[in-house]
A and B are shown apart, each in its own frame.
Chain A
């Protein structure tokens, strides 16, 4: 049998349909999109004396990573688990749609939600007087958007292994836990020693350090090493997601 060619545009159309679905059911993503900006405004700006713009910039680095974790973990983890329970994933898996197109479409929808979430934070930051160069804004935005990937893959692995309710619970724990031990809310230098140790195993810590590096805040350890660890963790998350996808019948 000769090779069968998949129709052109199959990836793009899947992504558009996924964006439509999230747009029409905003109740799933809206809380995770709004929470980070609200927290950032509340804890960085409203509480205490007006912070120095440098402190607000350092916070911005961490809150942007936090903003990527929510849509990634909930959109993929809880979303995929619920779709699996409803038999929606099974429907895709018996069609000629490649698994990659399915995952990419979900990723596009998550990145779009993250884009809105970080844009809101950037607005708050600008109002607070944070001054960054064009290159810094660009690098920061790319890093924040890219943070969706490792957490999306972790979420996919959870979603393929757990029930909808279980996945929501785990996503909540990871969402808040990653923010705390990763030093996204309170800088790692101010965390108890054991939390910093746990943080070493969280992608949020390494991504947070990279983001702090971009805005010129103080960092711990070597930035290239943080970058390498973040990439390695993303690959590990991809393996976790792939094995979950393979072993689950639906």
Chain B
């Protein structure tokens, strides 16, 4: 991973402390050309800090960050990267066209402004002041700012947070298109559906460390195949001892059980609690896979 020649952005053994919290703990990451990488993890896992280090806003305390072979703190390193930040504003007094023209001027190989506006669906809003945009329109301007320089690496920090379903689908389509054109994408998300829909590779983070790195399909397989949901009086700790069970938890009254062997688990469950009801069995989703991966860490931390 460290000597991956196709990597265009890397963190190698990076530690970062913010205040008294060790946010990243010898964390390594390699983003390869033409690949969509999703960074998943609970709040405080270190996702935004990872983005901060790769985009040059933060300096590692230990280890190295490299962007196209350069220190990301150097403006030239950021020439081939486009970033859509989680909570960044826009200059209210400038129009959409002015902001995008200004940003395009930062890049040596920028897209024509009209083309950027077209891709982001902003052609009709060119003359509108940024201060007069709706939330969804402002997000589209943010996306336009990220792609106007024809980036080889597109970094999207929680891109669809607070978007409605239609805007989300539209953004996913444009991200898929960018990836299809050979752009590497790093995506942080809370939304597992988003990672499942877009990512070639999912990196699961927790407490500043890498917990798993795999394709969504392999991660699902690692979860053990099936999820059982039911209503039972048995405690999750007891359910964990049933045959085949990887992880069991409480979903507010209902229990969920991730298992490698659904038949054996159900048989044992019915024996242990004859009153079990509302039994449902489904294929494990990525969500269950990640819950399984995160569970031991969260138990250690608690």
* Chain A residues with a Cβ under 8 A of chain B: 1, 3-7, 9-10, 13-14, 17, 20-21, 24-25, 83, 86-88, 90-91, 93-99, 246, 249-250
Please measure, in the bound complex, the distance between the C-alpha atom of A93 and the C-alpha atom of B89, giving whole angstroms.
Answer: 13
Given contacts A87-B88, A94-B83, A249-B52, contact A25 B93 (CB under 8 A): yes
B87 in contact with A17 (CB, 8 Å):
no
Please measure, in the bound complex, the distance between the C-alpha atom of A246 and the C-alpha atom of B78, giving whole angstroms.
Answer: 17
A10 in contact with B145 (CB, 8 Å):
no
Please measure, in the bound complex, the distance between the C-alpha atom of A181 and the C-alpha atom of B91, giving whole angstroms.
Answer: 36
B76 in contact with A21 (CB, 8 Å):
no
The segment from B105-113, B176-184, B224-232 that touches chain A is B105-113
Please measure, in the bound complex, the distance between the C-alpha atom of A216 and the C-alpha atom of B105, giving whole angstroms.
Answer: 48
Q: Can you name the residue of chain B whose Cβ is closest to the Cβ of A21? A: B93
* Chain B residues with a Cβ under 8 A of chain A: 18, 52, 55-59, 68-70, 75-81, 83, 85, 87-94, 98, 102-103, 105-108, 145, 149, 155
B75 in contact with A91 (CB, 8 Å):
no
Q: With a 10 A CB-CB cut-off, give which of B75, B81, B93, B98 has the most chain A CB atoms.
A: B75
A91 in contact with B94 (CB, 8 Å):
no
Instruction: Specify which of B57, B70, B105 is in contact with A1 (CB 8 Å cutoff).
Output: B70
**Which residues of the other chain, B, contact A1 by a CB distance below 8 angstroms?**
68-70
Please measure, in the bound complex, the distance between the C-alpha atom of A7 and the C-alpha atom of B145, giving whole angstroms.
Answer: 17
B107 in contact with A96 (CB, 8 Å):
yes
B145 in contact with A91 (CB, 8 Å):
yes
- 9 pairs of A and B residues whose beta carbons are closest in the complex: A87-B88, A86-B89, A4-B76, A24-B93, A94-B83, A1-B69, A94-B55, A96-B75, A96-B78
Please measure, in the bound complex, the distance between the C-alpha atom of A249 and the C-alpha atom of B53, giving whole angstroms.
Answer: 10
Instruction: Specify which of A3, A5, A10, A95 is in contact with B78 (CB 8 Å cutoff).
Output: A95
* Additional A-B contacts beyond A90-B57, A95-B145 (7; CB < 8 A): A4-B77, A7-B106, A17-B91, A93-B57, A94-B155, A95-B83, A246-B59
**Which residues of the other chain, A, contact B149 by a CB distance below 8 angstroms?**
96
**Which residues of the other chain, B, contact A24 by a CB distance below 8 angstroms?**
93-94
Given contacts A6-B75, A17-B98, contact A87 B87 (CB under 8 A): yes
A13 in contact with B56 (CB, 8 Å):
no
Please measure, in the bound complex, the distance between the C-alpha atom of A35 and the C-alpha atom of B285, giving whole angstroms.
Answer: 64
Instruction: Specify which of B69, B88, B98 is in contact with A91 (CB 8 Å cutoff).
Output: B88
Q: Can you name the residue of chain A whose Cβ is closest to the Cβ of B92? A: A25
**Which residues of the other chain, B, contact A88 by a CB distance below 8 angstroms?**
88-91
Q: Can you name the residue of chain B whose Cβ is closest to the Cβ of A25? A: B93
**Which residues of the other chain, A, contact B155 by a CB distance below 8 angstroms?**
94
**Shortest Cβ gap from B55 to chain A (Å):** 4
Please measure, in the bound complex, the distance between the C-alpha atom of A116 and the C-alpha atom of B108, giving whole angstroms.
Answer: 36
Given contacts A87-B85, A88-B90, A93-B57, contact A20 B106 (CB under 8 A): no
A249 in contact with B58 (CB, 8 Å):
yes
Please measure, in the bound complex, the distance between the C-alpha atom of A88 and the C-alpha atom of B138, giving whole angstroms.
Answer: 13
**Which residues of the other chain, A, contact B108 by a CB distance below 8 angstroms?**
4-7
B57 in contact with A94 (CB, 8 Å):
yes
**Which residues of the other chain, B, contact A4 by a CB distance below 8 angstroms?**
76-77, 79-80, 108
**Which residues of the other chain, B, contact A246 by a CB distance below 8 angstroms?**
59
Q: Can you name the residue of chain A whose Cβ is closest to the Cβ of B99? A: A17
- What are 5 A-B contacts defined by CB distance under 8 Å? A7-B108, A20-B98, A93-B56, A95-B145, A96-B149
**Which residues of the other chain, B, contact A7 by a CB distance below 8 angstroms?**
105-108
**Shortest Cβ gap from B36 to chain A (Å):** 19
Please measure, in the bound complex, the distance between the C-alpha atom of A17 and the C-alpha atom of B68, giving whole angstroms.
Answer: 29
**Which residues of the other chain, B, contact A21 by a CB distance below 8 angstroms?**
91, 93-94
B57 in contact with A250 (CB, 8 Å):
yes
**Which residues of the other chain, A, contact B93 by a CB distance below 8 angstroms?**
20-21, 24-25
B105 in contact with A10 (CB, 8 Å):
yes
Instruction: Specify which of A13, A249, A250 is in contact with B105 (CB 8 Å cutoff).
Output: A13
Please measure, in the bound complex, the distance between the C-alpha atom of A9 and the C-alpha atom of B110, giving whole angstroms.
Answer: 14
